[in-house]
A and B are shown apart, each in its own frame.
Chain A
Amino acid sequence: MPLDTQDRGTPLVEMRNMRKSFGGIHAVDDVTINLYPGEVVGVLGHNGAGKSVLMKMLSGAYKRDGGQIFVNGEEAHINSPRDARQYNIETIYQTLALADNLDAASNLFLGRELVTSAGLVNDALMEAETRKIMARLNPNFQRFHTPVAGLSGGQRQSVAISRAVYFNAKILIMDEPTAALGVEETAMVAKLIDELKAQGLGIFLIDHDIHQVKALCDRASVMKNGRLVGTVKVDEVTEDDILGMIILGKQPEKGMA
């Protein structure tokens, strides 16, 4: 895959000069990053570096103080989670963002329920759709009538991911998708990311695990204290280079994208 961004046409997403402050703190300060179709871009940094805030401006959870978002080259007006969904931007949060007391189908369709002609929620249809997508993503999943509180971390994660896949996400934000998972489950998520990438989705991956970033991402944008340190092609830099960017805010000599 060519990594020279100049040759690749219009980015799927471009966030230009993004800003967000909380009180006097500049959580995100003039950050510009982009994402191409079929690409995974790691968003890295210490806790508090601003990566989650940056992604939340894209997912509509936070309103930006400044900056512009372009989707397929056109300016996107994203001021709420609902707006973001209009642009096929889906988010899988670190906290999984599931209502623990509801079952898998209710969570998958939360905010976008399928309704009958009378306008009432169609639970049977939603369950049937959930069974279909689960058969694809996680064939072992059987507990359709239990509140998701009773599910394992991997099962809960598959509910969260199925939500993004079912609604045809074009742009996927994954906030530490494997943080709560075991080894085997992590491998499955990695496999899924590769599949989604092959389908042409663009994925922003927030992660702390450098190995994982090296393995899964095409490029990595590193943030420190709310500012962008730089964006690198992960194949052309070492893990130490990336660590240097995260810890010291130091740009590597080569591999800048």
Chain B
Amino acid sequence: MADSTDTRDLPKKTRRNILDTMEIDTRLLGMIGAFVVICIVFDVWTGGRFLTPRNIFNLTIQTVSVAIMATGMVFVIVTRHIDLSVGALLATCSAFMAMTQTAWLPNLVGLPLGSPMIAPIAILVGLVVGTAIGAFHGWLIGYLTIPAFIVTLGGLFVWRNVAWHLSRGQTIGPLDETYVTLGGIEGTMGATGSWILGALAAAFTVYLMINARRNKVRHDFPVKPIWAEAVIGAIAVGAILGFVWILNSYEVPIGRLRRIFDARGETMPEGYTAVYGVPYSVLILIVVAIVMTVVAQRTRLGRYIFATGGNPEATELAGINIRFLTVKVFAIVGFLCALSAVVASARLNFHSNDIGTLDELRVIAAAVIGGTALSGGIGTIYGAILGALIMQSLQSGMAMVGVEAPYQNIVVGIVLVFAVYVDILYRKRTGD
């Protein structure tokens, strides 16, 4: 085949600068940079209150719900669709789970309140409902070819009010004790558990890097120098352990500890302390992030999702059933909405009518700030999670310095548009 001259002039393998040598994603670097700047600005502004273990802990658990859904939104937007119903779907799942654990299981099935079976059954009900509704959306979009915008706009009206119907508009609570441990502060891994998790995560990261390098060497592909691998590995391990260390530095207040001991009928020993560590909800997010990243990058499903976003006709001609693919994508989002519903309602310890209101916009914004292109075909899971974290830190930072809620929203709106503009400039510059 003939070739245009541009590739012939292409040097074999040049390393332009240090970032290129280390094969670092500059977009990821930019987002981390933006996040760091936000943190430092608010920390200075609040006189050091922003970057405390306590606030970082809170920031993390506040981000989880939106971040989980945002990973699913990446798939939706990558396949050139949109989902406006995630907040409403979250509310319906939350209502189903709240009713299951407080009314249906105790009253209809006869499972007493407080039974250890209540939480798992309720969660299972929520996940099934969420996945089924998502798959139904996907069927309407894929097989009946109704635009996703319309289907999910309709879904927003329907599911928000199905939630209202299920709970008759009431706030349902308190929720099951086991269930609420998935919400954040009520369920954490403690110091030892968190350190074990951190060590495992760090070891796994190093293993993945070594494995990837071996695989490249086996096929004679160019690899980056050992020192570059080592630096990246050290940064990754440092970040993981640093995160665990921060969460492990947040001590449980003395009054709360004393209440826990009183509840057990014991007296608290003098000088006793305990720390929160990594919340289970964050653990859920980490698992979701890993699974979704594997799906996106290492499975056929993920490959077809991205191929469809790049060129739906080509994907179909390659023998891929993109209608069923649409069903799968929306079913994944439905599942993740249900998971978010667990975290969100468990964090509040009740189901309320307005749970998840406007979450659809936060989720879309998180995905888009995280570099997902609305034109389809481009997006990353870690980007969406970082996007959610950036939005949440902006919002809670502003709240801490006393910016009123309406002004917060104005800023978030401007940041969203600005972030997309920066992304467009970046793409033009790099030609990606």
Contact = CB atoms under 8 A, between A and B. Distances in A.
Partners in one complex: yes
Interface residues of A, number: 55
Interface residues of B, number: 39
B372 to A, nearest CB: 12
B249 to A, nearest CB: 37
Contact of A127 (B12, B221, B319): B221
A179 to B, nearest CB: 14
B6 A152 contact: yes
B174 interface: no
Interface in B12-52: 12
A119 B294 CA distance: 12
Contacts of B221: 124, 127-128
B2 A125 contact: no
B1 A158 contact: yes
B299 A152 contact: no
Given A82-B319, A97-B313, A111-B320, A102 B3 contact: no
Interface in B289-310: 294, 298-300, 303-304, 306-310
Interface stretch (A43-51, A180-188, A196-204): A180-188
Contact of A99 (B1, B298, B311): B311
A146 to B, nearest CB: 9
B262 interface: no
Interface stretch (A21-29, A133-141, A211-219): A133-141
B69 interface: no
B2 A100 contact: no
Interface in A53-110: 59-61, 80-82, 85, 91, 93, 95-102, 106, 110
Contact of A61 (B1, B219, B317): B317
Contact of A187 (B2, B317, B319): B2
29 contacts: A80-B319, A81-B316, A91-B317, A95-B314, A97-B318, A98-B311, A99-B377, A101-B306, A101-B309, A101-B377, A102-B306, A110-B307, A111-B315, A111-B318, A111-B319, A115-B300, A120-B294, A121-B298, A127-B221, A128-B219, A128-B220, A137-B1, A140-B7, A141-B3, A152-B7, A154-B1, A155-B1, A181-B2, A186-B2
List the 6 closest pairs (A to B, CB-CB), nearest first.
A99-B310, A185-B2, A111-B318, A101-B310, A101-B377, A152-B4
